[in-house]
Chains A and B, each alone.
Chain A
């Protein structure tokens, strides 16, 4: 079983729609969760972090965390073509300092 799993892509949404990206993790003790965006040929860029159950909003982005279900999600409202990228879910392990990444979900926003 993979430690961090993301919904398989690619995901395609029309411009202006809501894009929903999902992630589950296996380490029940994990406390820190992150979403990174990676444009093709570029390095990952941190866009959201979440540490407590519930929702955290930042502009058009909302991260949601449910520790009981070991589930993290990222919602992108009013999706723009510039949001087209691979989104990586990352979970900080309880046993150390490393982040474990999911395989990523490729999002395409069609104009």
Chain B
């Protein structure tokens, strides 16, 4: 079992829909990252969380430390949001452990 599990693996939605991507982890962490990888391959860090909730534009990330669970939400989704979203946990040894990613496709 992977130490960081993401769901779903693939998600196709219509433009405008509210999107939720989930991440569960089984290790002790000092922080959790949400990353975005566009078809061109570059990886961009969206959020770094150690508690609570963060919001940036239409993106919202939450983390529940007790339940070892984080979610990434996209409101009013748009085709340009189509990408792979990766959850990454920074464990207490300062190593980053990645989920396998969620491939999101937003249809116009």
Asked if A and B bind, the verdict is no
